[in-house]
Structure 1
Amino acid sequence: MIRAAFRWLLAVFYAAAGYFHLANPEPFLTITPEWVPWPAAVIWWTGIAEIAGAVGLAQPFSAPLKRYAAIGLALYAVCVFPANINHFAMDLARKDSGAGLVYHIPRMVAQPIIVWLALWAGEVLDWPFARRTKST
């Protein structure tokens, strides 16, 4: 029950994020590292990936599709981490410190949690909630 609630929460979160990547790519383009080729296309495809992952997570009757979507979203979160680091560095280099540490530190800490949450909610892994079996 709790796992399903988190799966739906992630699906809504990623669907909204995907929508914003497509509807207003400019904020995402400003934090994309310079070494990323074709940044506008990358932002567009990340929006598509988020929406596709959200749809996959929301599938109530397809366990394999949920798992594939969860793995895809976890990999996606790993792949966009350089943009988050770049945003952090760009903000802290500003005279006004941008959003500041109060915004960026929780965001950095949340990234691996989001990777784990996608895998757990998508039933790819049970850790740390796996049931223990008694051995005789």
Structure 2
Amino acid sequence: MSTIERVFHAVLFEVLAISLSIIGLTIFTHHPVSSLSGTMIAVATIAMIWNMIFNAIFDRFFTGKREERSLKARCVQVIGFEGGLLLFTVPIMAWLLSVGLWEAFIMDIGVTLFITAYAFVFNYCYDHLRAALLRRRQLATVQAQ
């Protein structure tokens, strides 16, 4: 994947994730879309920054080839990332939405579970659509010759 495509992939992922999270939270809470929009943009921004910081630190402790990391190391990474993210985002959600920490925690857990499933589906679909487009381009190039 080129750098431009990686940026496209990341932006598309985030735009859809934020939009779908706002819709879900609108359905399950009493908060207005405007409040949820700002909150989810803040959460997504925190998640991207935390992702860079956490993974830089994690890579210092778990050296070697990334593709050879054990299941245990990957579980530690996910739990560490998500746990740290909750520490940052729960107070922000509570403050921005004027709710208690418990309500913000429940909402954040819901978003986290949704994003986990969404990431799986999004990347599966993106990879398969990308492969189909590349095959189509390759076929068109062969036919044009």
Query: How high is the TM-score relative to the length of structure 1?
Result: 0.31
Structure with the bigger RCO (C-alpha within 8 Å, sep 6+) is: 1
More helix per residue: 1 or 2? 2
